[in-house]
Amino acid sequence: MAAVRRKFGDEYQAVGLARCSARRERQRFVDKNGRCNVQHGNLGGESSRYLSDFFTTLVDLKWRWNLLIFLLTYTVAWLVMASMWWGIAYLRGDLQQAHGDSYSPCVANVYNFPSAFLFFVETEATIGYGHRYITERCPEGIVLFLFQSLLGSVVDAFLIGCMFIKMSQPKKRAETLMFSRAAVISQRDAKLCLMFRVGNLRNSHMVSAQIRCKLIKSRQTPEGEFLPLDQCELDVGFGTGADQLFLVSPLTICHEINSESPFFCLSQRSLRSEQFEIVVILEGIVETTGMTCQARTSYTEDEVLWGHRFLPVMSLEDGFFRVDYSQFHATFEVPTPPYSVKEQEESLSQSSLLNSPFEKKSRREQVCPLDCADATGEKNKLPAKLQKISSRKEGLPPRALRMSSCNTQKNFSTGDLLEIEEISPMSDGEDSDHRMQLKGLKINAKALTQSTSKLELQKDFPGMGTLEVKLEDNFPAKL
């Protein structure tokens, strides 16, 4: 226990199964020992089917009924056959005659019913004391002797075979296969899982051991049909081969709760109000007898512990591994989210949708605001007079405004700016303002045609743009 505390921390706390037994008990479909609580009634005329398979019916009976049938069968057979031997002696008059050299009876030394009974037992058991024997002058006795031998062989084969199969049934082998008293729900590998434990108490192995799980739960179909005790398969590793067990030490069977699981919407709160039963079936071949063995158990909703984990039971000793079965059923609490897998996936999808507008932007959204910002910043860097001229563009016709753009404003040449600076001191009155507006419109149109021609030249000759930049570097200051 100290090693477990060091491994799992000081907050380790073992949880017993007293809380499970203290909860309410309800009717089970399968008991903890594997017995199915199902009784067949109102068979009517179908009861004769049991007699058609009398041998299986006899094997399925309880031991007390098997012993009673065994004793009654042999007792009745012996009494009937002894009565037949006594009847032959009575009809032949052997009972009243003295058996000697002058008289040859059917069966020597049979004088009454007890002696006839002893003769049958000696013959049936092949004891052969030699005092009572059949003579050759009794043909009916010879026929009865043959019938007795055949009938005895059939009865022996039937009853002894039934008892042998009854004793060799692997049901008792299932008593040494253990299941944990409770199942747990906790996280394993960042996934919510339903887990329970299974162990083998014998050193002999279970060959080809395989485990299956069934969920027993009543439900109603969308068409309104009610299905009582509907069976649903729980995946315990069928696709990955995890359901094939090498059962030499206790194993923890895991069912991953995902979108295909019946527990996809199960949370810690809804677990208290649910009603279901998990039936576990372990099958394998007994190594010593070669017969198939099946062990069963079940877990109700009261026996499923949310946020628990099984205690480790394996420890390394000197040269071997030791299994501590005293901690086989013990569990301890671990941090587990109380939400269902469906709720967790919905919360993750919502958070991803909220973060997606800020993380993913189109190329147009990333490039266009920068261009507009550059254009605005470049406009703010112009002198006050030029800003006044550019603000008057709002009064221009819409067609002229459409022809001008952010890129057009960037393509003003140095000569155009100098020309605007030379015109600007002359704007003193309304006429000068009007002339200035017309001049600005002409300059914009001229710049637009220049920028358009430059774009066409760059499109046709990609190297012209670079050549034009190099030529402009050698122009005088006024240009």
- Which pLDDT does position 321 carry in this prediction? 92
- Which pLDDT does position 429 carry in this prediction? 44
Q: Give the torsion sign (CA, 326, 332, 338, 341).
A: negative
- Which pLDDT does position 169 carry in this prediction? 81
Say which residue, 178 or 401, is predicted with more confidence.
178
The tens digit of pLDDT for each residue in 221-271 reads: 999 999 999 999 999 998 899 999 999 999 999 999 999 999 999 999 999
- Which pLDDT does position 108 carry in this prediction? 83
Mean of pLDDT values over 348-376: 54
Given a cut of 80, whether residue 58 has pLDDT beyond it is yes
Question: What percentage of the chain has pLDDT greater than the value 90?
Answer: 37
The tens digit of pLDDT for each residue in 65-117 reads: 999 999 999 999 999 999 999 998 888 888 877 666 677 788 888 888 998 89
Given a cut of 60, whether residue 444 has pLDDT beyond it is no
- Which pLDDT does position 133 carry in this prediction? 83
- Which pLDDT does position 106 carry in this prediction? 85
Q: What is the DSSP string of 151-189?
A: HHHHHHHHHHHHHHHHHH-TTGGGGGEEE-SSEEEEEET
- Which pLDDT does position 384 carry in this prediction? 54
Cα 479 from Cα 415, distance rounded (Å): 5
Given a cut of 90, whether residue 467 has pLDDT beyond it is no
Q: What are phi and psi of 333, to 5 degrees?
A: -80, 145
**What's the maximum distance between 2 C-alpha atoms anywhere in the chain?**
178
Say which residue, 43 or 76, is predicted with more confidence.
76
- Which pLDDT does position 402 carry in this prediction? 42
Provide the pLDDT confidence category of residue 218 given band limits of 50, 70 and 90: very high
- Which pLDDT does position 399 carry in this prediction? 41
- Which pLDDT does position 350 carry in this prediction? 87
- Which pLDDT does position 341 carry in this prediction? 93
Given a cut of 90, whether residue 305 has pLDDT beyond it is yes
- Which pLDDT does position 264 carry in this prediction? 94
The tens digit of pLDDT for each residue in 323-334 reads: 999 999 999 999
- Which pLDDT does position 356 carry in this prediction? 62
Say which residue, 470 or 61, is predicted with more confidence.
61
Strands 183-188 and 304-306: parallel
- Which pLDDT does position 24 carry in this prediction? 54
- Which pLDDT does position 357 carry in this prediction? 53
Q: Which of 158-172, 233-247, 307-321 has the lowest mean pLDDT?
A: 158-172
Given a cut of 50, whether residue 426 has pLDDT beyond it is no
Mean of pLDDT values over 39-57: 82
Given a cut of 70, whether residue 394 has pLDDT beyond it is no
Question: What percentage of the chain has pLDDT greater than the value 70?
Answer: 68
Contact 268, 338 (CB under 8 A): yes
Token pair listed for 259:
């979108």
Given a cut of 90, whether residue 14 has pLDDT beyond it is no
- Which pLDDT does position 435 carry in this prediction? 55
Mean of pLDDT values over 400-407: 40
Alpha-carbon distance values, 463 to 458, 466, 470, 472 (Å) = 7, 6, 11, 15
- Which pLDDT does position 98 carry in this prediction? 67
The 3-state DSSP class for residue 12 equals coil
Mean pLDDT of the chain: 76
Provide the pLDDT confidence category of residue 179 given band limits of 50, 70 and 90: very high
- Cα end-to-end distance, the chain, whole Å: 93
Alpha-carbon distance values, 475 to 419, 455, 464, 469, 471 (Å) = 15, 21, 17, 10, 7
- Which pLDDT does position 17 carry in this prediction? 44
Given a cut of 90, whether residue 372 has pLDDT beyond it is no
Alpha-carbon distance values, 432 to 46, 386, 423, 425, 436 (Å) = 119, 15, 9, 10, 6
- Which pLDDT does position 425 carry in this prediction? 41
Please state whether the predicted TM-score (pTM) of the whole model is above 0.85. Answer: no
- Which pLDDT does position 125 carry in this prediction? 83
Contact 180, 195 (CB under 8 A): no
Mean of pLDDT values over 275-299: 92
Provide the pLDDT confidence category of residue 440 given band limits of 50, 70 and 90: low
The 3-state DSSP class for residue 95 equals coil
Given a cut of 50, whether residue 369 has pLDDT beyond it is no
Given a cut of 70, whether residue 387 has pLDDT beyond it is no
Mean of pLDDT values over 187-196: 94
